[in-house]
Amino acid sequence: MPIEDRDDAYVLTHALAKDTLSRLRDVETTQVAFRKGLVKLGRICGYEIIDGAMETEYVSIQTPLAETTGERVKGLDNVVIINVLRAATPFVEGLLKAFPRAKQGVISAGRDEEAGMDDDGNFPITIDYVKLPEITEKDTVIVADPMLATGSTMCSVLDHILDNNDGVDPAKLFVLSAVSAPDGLLRVGDEFPDIDLLTVSIDDYLDDDGYIVPGLGDAGDRAFRTT
Res. 86 pLDDT band, cuts 50 70 90: confident
pTM (predicted TM-score): 0.92
pLDDT at 123: 76
pLDDT at 112: 67
Average pLDDT over all residues of the chain: 92
Q: Judge whether 130 and 107 are in contact, CB under 8 Å.
A: yes
Q: Judge whether 65 and 43 are in contact, CB under 8 Å.
A: no
For residues 168-176, give the mean pLDDT.
Answer: 95
Does the pLDDT value for residue 211 go beyond 60?
A: yes
218: closest CA among 189, 185, 186, 178?
A: 178
Cis peptide before 214, with omega less than 30 degrees from 0?
A: yes
Does the pLDDT value for residue 208 go beyond 90?
A: no
Kindly report the number of other CB atoms within 10 A of residue 14's CB atom.
Answer: 18
CA dihedral sign, ordered 186, 138, 82, 44? positive
DSSP 53-97: H--EEEEEEE-SS-EEEEEEETTTTSEEEEEEETTHHHHHHHHHH
Distances (CA, A) of 54 to 51, 146, 198, 200: 6, 22, 14, 19
Res. 201 pLDDT band, cuts 50 70 90: very high
Could you report the per-residue pLDDT of 126-167, keeping only the tens digit for each?
A: 888 999 999 999 999 999 999 999 999 999 999 999 988 888
In whole angstroms, give the CA distance from residue 82 to residue 88. Answer: 9
Could you report the per-residue pLDDT of 10-54, keeping only the tens digit for each?
A: 999 999 999 999 999 999 999 999 999 999 999 999 999 999 999
CA dihedral sign, ordered 161, 223, 176, 212? negative
Give the H or E element holding residue 109: strand 103-111
pLDDT at 3: 82
